[in-house]
């Protein structure tokens, strides 16, 4: 089965991160031919340093990577076409899909069935953003006939229940995490840092510029116990440098204030970022890709959701908190909800009120990851959804 995955980079690393992980999993676990179209090669290269941003076409870790540029080339559409996050396919590509369908029109009864040039039914999917909202279950898998062409598009929703598309999770991921967490000394040495002391709380910080970062750092500096914070290089460094009262920060730099030791580390590949999440006691994450990986890390997390107009993102945040906090004791659940609302809203952060439940939050994070792992993963669900609609 041949796959075309289209990605327009909106959220810096969230959308391209999802697309790259999905592409890699389809190649590695299912041996499919995957062609990934990305409009921002620089962002992809930061997640996978082997990518050459100068090339319009290249093979990278088994995936055919194409630079999505205008005008879009005339290519034969794949058996499965994934339009991620409503990015809208190029017009000539859609026309090519419709043309193949028209040439096979006498072989089908329903003009809205998508047919490849080889006579196989083509599957066109809009892979939507992850949401914990209840309405997602009712919309997952719904078909939408094209208004003018003999084509059908299906809406595929990632989610947290068996009635959705699930979450990206490679085979053996949790076993790999457990093996790593049994001995993290090598990882800290690779970063050029000493392993943390037993009394330290180790956190990773990855968020949007709108987060109340200075207040968070102040709370850690005033913490009763030591806090070690690791920050991958990003636009966030400018804000942190202002807080620290220095002109610039770069990988390798450290800032010590009160009980906070802050380390700036290089921007990490996806595999190394996974390891960072596994090595920390608490992870501040953003968007979608790092948010999902933090859940598989089985560590307490704080999510900075992608801001939307009219505060629509806060509805999605509350929907996730409803699910995530369901099995927490009331006091701990209140602390998690309060801290997330503060981090995504007014900025009056109460870190000590949140972290006083550390032991309970850790047990819950482990149980949450185990619960999610009982469902089929996103790639599996996509593959079987598409196979059910093709002749393969």
- Give the residue numbers marked as catalytic: 15, 288
Q: Of 354, 350, 306, which is closest to residue 209 (Cα–Cα)?
A: 306
Q: Is the peptide bond before 321 cis (omega within 30 degrees of 0)?
A: no
291-309 burial: b if 16+ Cβ within 10 Å, else e:
bbbbbbbbbbbbbbbbeee
Rounded Cα distance between 391 and 248, Å, is 58
Contacts of 17 (CB under 8 A, 6+ apart): 47, 270, 287, 288, 289, 290
Q: How far lies 82's CA from each of 87, 205, 262, in Å?
A: 10, 31, 40
- Residue 143 burial (10 A CB sphere; 0-12, 13-18, 19+): exposed
Tokens 């999802």, residue? 18
- The tokens for 92 are 């000539």
Rounded Cα distance between 69 and 52, Å, is 16
Q: Of 193, 171, 116, 200, which is closest to residue 386 (Cα–Cα)?
A: 116
Provide φ and ψ at 260, rounded to 5°.
-105, 130
Rounded Cα distance between 38 and 103, Å, is 29
- The tokens for 132 are 């914990």
């Amino acid at each position: 089965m041949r796959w075309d995955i289209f990605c327009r980079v909106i959220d810096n690393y969230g959308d391209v991160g999802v697309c790259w992980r999905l592409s890699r999993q389809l190649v590695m676990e299912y041996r499919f031919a995957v062609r990934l179209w990305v409009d921002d090669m620089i962002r992809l290269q930061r997640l996978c340093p082997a990518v050459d941003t100068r090339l319009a076409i290249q093979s990278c870790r088994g995936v055919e990577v194409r630079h999505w540029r205008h005008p879009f080339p005339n290519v034969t559409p794949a058996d499965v076409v994934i339009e991620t996050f409503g990015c809208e396919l190029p017009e000539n590509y859609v026309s090519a899909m419709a043309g193949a369908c028209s040439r096979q029109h006498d072989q089908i009864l329903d003009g809205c069935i998508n047919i490849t040039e080889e006579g196989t039914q083509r599957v066109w999917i809009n892979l939507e953003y992850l949401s914990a909202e209840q309405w997602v279950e009712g919309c997952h898998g719904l078909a939408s006939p094209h208004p003018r062409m003999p084509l059908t598009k299906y809406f595929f929703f990632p989610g947290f229940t068996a009635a959705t598309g699930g979450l990206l999770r490679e085979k053996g991921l949790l076993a790999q995490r457990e093996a790593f967490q049994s001995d993290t000394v090598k990882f800290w040495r690779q970063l050029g840092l000493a392993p943390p002391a037993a009394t330290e709380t180790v956190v990773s910080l990855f968020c949007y510029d709108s987060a109340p970062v200075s207040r968070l750092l102040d709370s850690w500096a005033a913490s009763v116990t030591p806090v070690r914070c690791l920050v991958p290089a990003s636009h966030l460094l400018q804000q942190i440098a202002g807080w620290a009262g220095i002109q610039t920060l770069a990988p390798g730099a450290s800032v010590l204030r009160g009980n906070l030791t802050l380390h700036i580390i290089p921007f990490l590949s996806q595999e190394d970022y996974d390891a960072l999440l596994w090595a920390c006691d608490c992870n501040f994450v953003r968007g979608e890709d790092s948010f999902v990986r933090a859940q598989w890390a089985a560590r307490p997390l704080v999510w900075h959701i992608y801001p939307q107009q009219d505060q629509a993102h806060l509805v999605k945040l509350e929907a996730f908190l409803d699910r995530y906090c369901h099995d927490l004791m009331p006091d701990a659940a209140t602390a998690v909800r309060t801290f997330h609302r503060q981090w995504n809203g007014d900025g009056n952060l109460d870190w000590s009120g949140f972290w006083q439940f550390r032991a309970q939050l850790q047990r819950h994070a482990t149980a949450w990851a185990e619960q999610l792992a009982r469902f089929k993963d996103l790639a599996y669900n996509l593959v079987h959804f598409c196979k059910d609609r093709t002749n393969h």
